[in-house]
Structures are given as C-alpha cells and as structure tokens.
C-alpha cells in the first residue's frame, strides 16, 4: 500500500446542494478499488482562477488514502467518468506520512456544506472530525519517483479571470 | 574598509536553498502567487534567484495548481 493524496474540485453549486452524495460518490470510487481513506479535509468554496466547464466557483476536498499502486490507473478512469468532480489530481505522498490538517496559506479548512433541509435525501449529519489513524509510514520514497499526474483532461484553453484574493 | 571575508557559497542566492525546502506544494497558492507575475507567469530564475532544482519544483507546482484552477494560466485577460 502506498499513500496518495487526491484533491477533488467540485463545482460550487453541486457542493452546496449535494455535498453528501458527492462525497459519497467520490469516496465510494476510492473504496471500490480497495483504497483506505486516511484523512479528508474540506476546503470551502472559492473563486476559481479560471472557469472550468463554465463554472466559476468551486470547493475542494483533499483526501489522503492508501492504495495499491496497481489500481491507480483504473481508479483514475473511474474518477474521470464520474461527474462528481470537475477535476482531480492524485499524487504520491513522497514521505508516506499523512500531514497534519492545516490551512493552505489563507485557505482554511471549513465545515462541509450542510444539507439545507434537503427534501430528497435523509441528512446524515457528517460530524467527521477525521479520526486520523496514523498511517504506517512506509519507507520514504526517493524523491522524484512516480508522481502521478491526473489524466490531463485539461480545460480547453479557457483562460480568463485574474488571480484573486 | 570592512574586510570582505567572502566565504564561498556562504549564502545561497536561492531562497528555497536557504530555507532548505525539499518540496514545493501546489496547494500553497499563497507561495505560488509570490513566485509569479501579475500575469500568472513564473518569475525567471534570473529575477527570482532560484536555483535550477527549485525552479523546476516551482514550475511543477505551478503546473499542478493551474490544472486544479488554483492559479491562472498565463495570459489571462488584462
Ligand atoms: Zn535552490
């Protein structure tokens, strides 16, 4: 098992209205391939640096998981097919240690969107304070190693919107 | 006149070398913003003083941040 980090970008509308299902779907795909989730942190909605498939805002879910490197390819395929995330990026964690939950510059971890009295889905309040099981740190990877780039589904050269903040 | 005791490679010109940075995280948007022009372009090594190794790391981090729409692609409007 190897430790990976995966960042999901979820379109803001979907994130605010259907977070539970979205997270369930993404996590489900990971687990389907035998991945063991170590930690997930939600980073609330922000303005995207450029529109992605016409969406201007998005929320991010950072997930650390352990998986067999052999399944990553298929995992990618499934994530690409899923509509839940606009984009995702899977990288190997080189030192094999799940980092502390932290803010990223001015970007703070936030609570997940609550299902606002959602009629259709039974709201299961997600009080997920991430149990944070110590990841068995495997031998530190030699730097450089097989970093996994997300299948470059790169957006069709849309580039507008200047940087924010 | 103060004696210039110029020790060889006393202080690295590259800030990342000075701070012994081993990796640059694409998620650190704050840092990447400092490394790029208003247009979202990475400052040249000449301008930033980064060594080749750290410049490569910065470049890769920027590429990833762009893919995840955390940083703009170069030549954004304006
Ligand atoms: Zn350096």
d(CA A21, CA A55): 19
Cβ of B23 and A143 within 8 Å?
yes
Mean pLDDT of A9-37: 97
- Compute the distance from residue A6 Cα to the ligand 1 centre, in Å: 27
How do strand A55-67 and strand A36-52 relate by DSSP bridges?
A: antiparallel
Chain B positions touching A52 (Cβ under 8 A) are: 69
Those residues with Cβ within 8 angstroms of residue A11's Cβ, 6 or more apart along the chain or in another chain: A52, A53, A55, A57, A58, A86
Model confidence at B38, in pLDDT bands (50, 70, 90)?
Answer: confident
Mean pLDDT rounded to a whole number for chain B: 87
**Residue spans per domain, chain A:** 2-92, 135-165
- Compute the distance from residue B64 Cα to the ligand 1 centre, in Å: 20
Q: What sign does the dihedral A92-B55-B70-A101 (CA atoms) show?
A: positive
How do strand A2-11 and strand A55-67 relate by DSSP bridges?
A: antiparallel
- Name the residue facing B76 among A50, A105, A154 (closest C-beta): A50
pLDDT digits (tens, 9 = 90+) for A56-104: 999 999 999 999 999 999 999 999 999 999 999 999 999 999 998 887 7
Complete domains list, chain B, with CATH:
25-78 (4.10.640.10)
Residues in chain B: 78
pTM: 0.75
CATH class for the region spanning A2-92 = alpha beta
Cβ of A52 and B67 within 8 Å?
no
Question: What ipTM was estimated for this complex?
Answer: 0.81
* Residue A154 in tokens: 């790169």
The CA distance from B57 to the nearest CA of chain A, in Å, is: 10
Task: Provide the H-helix boundaries in A45-149.
Answer: 72-81
Helices and strands, counts by H and E, chain A:
3, 4
3-state DSSP of B43-70: CCHHHHCCCHHHHHHHHHHHHHHHHCCC
- Compute the distance from residue B24 Cα to the ligand 1 centre, in Å: 11
């Amino acid at each position: 098992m190897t430790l990976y980090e995966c960042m999901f970008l979820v379109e803001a509308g979907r994130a605010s209205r259907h977070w539970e299902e979205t997270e369930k779907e993404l996590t489900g795909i990971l687990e389907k391939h035998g991945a063991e989730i170590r930690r997930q942190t939600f980073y609330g909605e922000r303005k995207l640096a450029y529109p992605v498939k016409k969406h201007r805002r998005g929320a991010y879910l950072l997930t650390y998981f352990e998986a067999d490197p052999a399944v990553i390819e298929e995992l990618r395929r499934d994530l690409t097919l899923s509509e839940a995330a606009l984009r995702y990026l899977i990288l190997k964690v080189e030192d094999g240690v799940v980092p502390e939950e932290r803010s990223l510059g001015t970007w703070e971890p936030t609570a997940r969107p609550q299902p606002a009295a959602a009629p259709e889905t039974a709201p299961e309040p997600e009080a997920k304070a991430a149990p944070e099981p110590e990841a068995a740190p495997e031998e530190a990877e030699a730097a450089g190693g097989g970093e996994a780039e997300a299948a470059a589904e790169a957006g069709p050269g849309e580039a507008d919107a200047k940087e924010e903040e | 006149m103060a004696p210039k005791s110029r020790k060889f490679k006393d202080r690295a010109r590259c800030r990342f070398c000075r701070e012994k940075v081993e990796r640059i995280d694409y998620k650190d948007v704050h840092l990447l913003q400092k490394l790029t022009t208003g247009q979202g372009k990475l400052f040249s090594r000449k301008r930033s003083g980064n060594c080749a190794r750290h410049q490569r790391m910065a470049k890769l981090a920027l590429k990833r941040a762009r893919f995840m729409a955390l940083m703009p692609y170069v030549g954004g409007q304006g």
